[in-house]
Amino acid sequence: MKDHMKMTTPSRPFRVLIVDDDPLSTDLLAKDLRQIGYGVSGVVSVSSDVLATVQRDRPDVVLLDIGTLPHSNALQTARELRQAENVVLVFLAGPEAENAVRAVADFSPAGYLGKPVRPHDLQVTLALALRRHAHEAEERKSLQSLAHTDPLTGLGNRRHLYETLDKAWEDCHNNDRPLGILMIDIDHFKQFNDSCGHAAGDRCLTQVAGTLLEACGDAGATVGRWGGEEFLAVLPGGTAEQARHLGEQLIAHVEATTATTADQTAQSPVTISVGAAVAWPAAAEGGWQALVSQADDRLYDAKLAGRNQLVSKPPHKTASRRQ
């Protein structure tokens, strides 16, 4: 048995918090856990202390006895752990706790262990529980990525850009740095779609997105699809000169790239217009929303001036909708 335990010891010592008011039981569990390669972060006998202990000590696993703790407290503890903490929850229960087991079944713990706990059962249950937890974490990460990604271009979508803007605005505010925003629009895209078809339009969007992503990445900016044929780039720490330079690079790169790869039926090359705005969040009013609005107004000015160009100065007129 000892050789088998040694072979299956985790690559790093996972830490376990024991929640049980029976000293004999906790002593045996702690001994068995250490023997099979786990660490014991602590022992809690009062359910009201569990959440605070988890938040302070950050164990990987909580072994929660639902039979010896008061029934209502065990339920509340389980609920709080499932909702608030990224922790593996395994229930302990003796033969007398059948009703409690049924009551907590809806919390979907990572595992159950009957008392008295056998070392082999403890080892197998914890290994499976940790594996399940890791798998669920990967699934959540994948779903979160899908929720923040534009399916056509692969760029971040507007939700992702909102979060990027929130973080960039806060960081620049706290560190007294400027924040640059570039609003980008593909010129004459409606006509392109009408004359070349939606499939060609999708290819155009994907190609322009790839070009923007490469150029923005080199400049330390984040770019995403704002909607339709519009894209938005976020340049933390970007001065007015740096934002202007990036905008000019984007225009040149898109024109050069699409000139050689555009659809035969399309007017080549595809071009973009860009509006750029910069603010110092520590001294600005209106949040990043006002800054985006400024960039949008300057994009409108670029369209009025003939397209395929950048406007980074305050526009002569504003409008909420471009034609």
Average pLDDT value for residue range 46-75: 77
The yes-or-no verdict on residue 261 having pLDDT over 80 is: no
Greater confidence, 213 or 146?
Answer: 213
Q: Does residue 266 surpass a pLDDT of 70?
A: no
Q: Rank 87-101, 146-160, 236-250 by mean pLDDT and report only the highest.
A: 236-250
Range in 5-9, 36-40, 156-160 the model is least confident about: 5-9
Rounded Cα distance, 107 and 144, in Å = 22
Which tens digit of pLDDT belongs to each residue from 97-131? 666 666 666 666 778 888 889 999 999 999 988 88
Q: What's the pLDDT score for residue 317?
A: 43
Chain mean pLDDT for the chain: 84
pLDDT digits (tens, 9 = 90+) for 275-316: 999 999 999 989 999 999 999 999 999 999 999 999 998 644
- Predicted pLDDT of residue 81: 77
Q: pLDDT tens digit string along 138-196?
A: 777 777 777 889 999 999 999 999 999 999 999 999 999 999 999 999 999 998 888 88
CA distance 178 to 237: 5
Q: Which residues are catalytic?
A: 229
Instruction: Annotate 169-221 with three-state secondary structure.
Output: HHHHHHCCCCEEEEEEEECCHHHHHHHHCHHHHHHHHHHHHHHHHHHHHHHCC
Percent of the chain with pLDDT over 90: 52
Tell me what the mean pLDDT of segment 210-214 comes to: 95
Instruction: Indicate whether 198 pLDDT > 70.
Output: yes
Domain ranges within the chain, ordered by starting residue: 2-145, 158-311
135 or 145: whose pLDDT is higher?
135
Q: Dihedral of CA 58/60/65/70: which sign?
A: positive
Of 259, 185, 260, 245, which Cα lies nearest the Cα of 215? 245
Q: Is the pLDDT of residue 75 over 90?
A: no
Q: What does pTM read for this prediction?
A: 0.61
Q: Among the listed ranges 56-65, 81-90, 263-272, 299-308, which one has the minimum average pLDDT value?
A: 263-272
Is pLDDT of 258 > 90?
no
Q: What is the pLDDT of residue 9?
A: 46
Q: What's the token pair of residue 34? A: 């250490």
Q: Give the residue carrying structure tokens 């009957």.
A: 114
The CATH number given to 2-145 is 3.40.50.2300
* CATH superfamily for domain 158-311: Reverse transcriptase/Diguanylate cyclase domain (3.30.70.270)
Which pLDDT does position 64 carry in this prediction?
Answer: 86
